[in-house]
């Protein structure tokens, strides 16, 4: 039974690495509804400080910076 759990965790990790969105991995987009304008949603990246507006209400798909996130 423990082998099945370990195999499942390894499989989940591999799938996350394969299908994860690498272009936004470093960005941590935060929505601020108070700053929305003209039907566009306001987002600010907590890592790099980049500001973006989107039309669909979802976080931006592309990271605007090459700054790596702080390591812990």
pLDDT in tens, 32-71: 989 998 889 999 988 788 888 899 888 887 776 655 555 5
Q: State how far the Cα of 3 lies from the Cα of 9, in Å rounded to an integer.
A: 10
Cβ contact 62:24 at 8 Å = yes
Tokens 């370990």 identify what position?
6
Q: How far apart are CA 27 and CA 59, in angstroms?
A: 10
| 10/2 Cα distance (integer angstroms) | 12
Q: How far is CA 9 from CA 21, 24, 41, in A?
A: 20, 23, 36
pTM over 0.75: no
Q: What is the pLDDT of residues 8-34, one digit of tens each?
A: 999 998 888 777 665 555 778 899 989
């Amino acid at each position: 039974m423990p082998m099945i759990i370990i195999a499942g965790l390894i499989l989940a990790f591999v799938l996350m690495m394969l299908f994860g969105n690498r272009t936004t991995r470093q960005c941590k987009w935060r929505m601020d509804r108070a700053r929305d304008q003209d039907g566009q949603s306001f987002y600010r990246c907590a890592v790099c400080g980049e500001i973006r507006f989107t039309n669909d209400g979802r976080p931006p798909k592309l990271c605007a910076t090459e700054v790596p996130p702080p390591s812990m």
